[in-house]
Amino acid sequence: MREDLLREAELELQETQRRNEETALRRRQEVMNRSPEIASLLAQREDLIHGTMRGILQREAAPEDLPERMEQVSQNIRKRLKNLGLPEDYLAPVYDCPLCRDTGYVGDVVRERCACVRRRYQARLRKAIGLPERGEETFETYDETLFADTPLPDVGLTERQAMAVIRDGCEKWANNYPAQIPRDLVLSGKSGLGKTFLLHAMANRLIQRGYNVLLISAYQFLETARRAYFDNEAQAEDLTGAEVLMLDDLGSEPMMQNVTIEQLFNLINERQRRNLATVISTNLSQEELRIRYTERIASRLTDRRNALFLPLRGRDVRNGRQG
């Protein structure tokens, strides 16, 4: 999928380049039709360029006054454009990206993809995994003031302070990946504490850093697991092999005999065996995870050797932006 998204981004840029070239040609033809003087100046400027190129190919030195002559012609063109009521740069090349000039690559010696291609690719990746294309749910837009300044029992922090600690922990994980140990992370807490927001913020940060993320709901996981179990489909490999898998709202999926628990264990166990990162959000506590999924799954999600378990505490703020 990632290769397809990158190819789509490159094709879109090629279409942008073609459209901008057509715009430049249309403007040139418009101006030449309106002003024979500008048409003559454009021809004069092109003669200077082509004559210089021919001289270089014949190993002749360029005229010393060439820059001054080119600038004089350009000044005359800009003056006449202004007289026509047009911007002075109306005949300049048209680009969406001034860095790569819509070619998609930058660098003279070492060629690499331009940031504009990466932005287009990242927007598609966000859309493909269910994130807003502009990456609106980020650590920068996270607002801990939505949480009350009320002390939490037995914690020594207010709700707001505790959520700031959780936010910082998630950002640190996303910034340090893949060096973060342990690789897995679990956000646990009741509804309305911003778990999905934090999951999206982590996904956006990882995408910005160039890592591939697969974000699915627990229900989508169960559907994939069910098809893999009953229909012998190979889609489960997309989950076990994803660079970073984010599983949202674990515990909300139906319990299917011989499917839910078995496939979830296989998924977590295989990803930990491959040393691949899994980030999970759930409404369930550690004890509730044990009751619902058995000890062998819970231990892989709550043992600090296997996963960073972050409990979120406070009151529902779904009427605010965190949701």
pLDDT for 61: 61
- Same domain? 62 vs 177: no
Instruction: Name which of 306, 302, 131, 135 is nearest 216 in CA terms.
Output: 131
The answer to whether residues 288 and 153 belong to one domain is yes
The whole domain housing 220 covers 129-311
Establish if 143 belongs to a structural domain.
yes
Instruction: Report if residue 6 sits inside a domain.
Output: yes
Residues 88 and 133 grouped into a single domain: no
Residue whose entry in the numeric block shows the structure tokens 């010393």: 64
Residues 69, 136, single domain; the answer is no
- State which of 95, 116, 146 marks the end of a domain: 95
At 194 the three-state DSSP class reads: coil
Q: Are residues 181 and 256 in the same domain?
A: yes
Shared domain for 34 and 136, answered yes or no, is no
Residues 24 and 141 in one domain: no
CB burial of 198-217 (b: ≥16 within 10 Å; e: otherwise) equals bbbbbbbbbbeeeeebbbbb
Number of Cβ within 10 Å of residue 274's Cβ equals: 10
303 and 157: one domain? yes
Angle between helices 295-302 and 286-293 (to 10 degrees): 150
Question: How far from 260 is each of 133, 219, 272, 286, CA to CA, in Å?
Answer: 31, 10, 18, 18
Coil, strand, or helix at residue 25? helix
Q: What is the pLDDT of residue 323?
A: 42
CA gap 176, 168 in Å, rounded: 12
- What is the Cα 57 distance to its own chain's centre? 46
Q: Are residues 91 and 133 in the same domain?
A: no
Helix, strand, or coil here: 68? helix
CATH number, domain at 292? Answer: 3.40.50.300
**Last residue within a domain, chosen from 95, 121, 138:** 95
Determine the straight-line distance between the first and last CA of the chain, rounded to whole angstroms: 30
Tokens (6 digits) for 257? 């005999």
Same domain as 88, residue 134: no
In a domain, 322, yes or no: no
Question: What is the bridge-based pairing of β-strands 244-250 and 112-113?
Answer: unpaired
Q: Is residue 114 assigned to a domain? A: no
Residue 239 inside a domain? The answer is: yes
* Tokens read off for 164: 């700031």
Domain count, the chain: 2
Residue 40 lies in a domain: yes
Give residue 63's Cα distance to chain centre.
Answer: 49
> Is 170 found in the same domain as 32?
no
Q: Where are the alpha helices (DSSP H) in the chain?
A: 2-34, 36-57, 66-83, 115-128, 159-176, 195-208, 218-230, 236-241, 260-273, 286-293, 295-302
Domain C-terminal end among 78, 95, 112: 95
Rounded-to-integer distance, Cα 312 and Cα 148, Å? 13
Task: DSSP letter for 63, please.
Answer: P
pLDDT in tens, the chain (323 residues): 578 888 999 999 999 999 999 999 999 999 999 999 999 999 888 887 776 666 655 666 656 777 788 889 899 999 999 999 999 999 999 999 988 999 999 887 778 888 898 888 888 888 888 787 666 889 999 988 888 888 988 778 899 999 999 999 999 999 999 998 889 999 999 988 999 999 999 999 999 898 889 999 999 888 887 776 666 555 567 788 889 999 999 999 989 888 889 989 999 999 999 999 999 999 999 999 999 999 999 999 998 888 999 999 888 776 544 44
Residue 248 lies in a domain: yes
Question: Are 199 and 75 contained in the same domain?
Answer: no
Whether 273 maps to a domain, the answer reads yes
Q: What is the pLDDT of residue 314?
A: 81
pLDDT of residue 320: 47
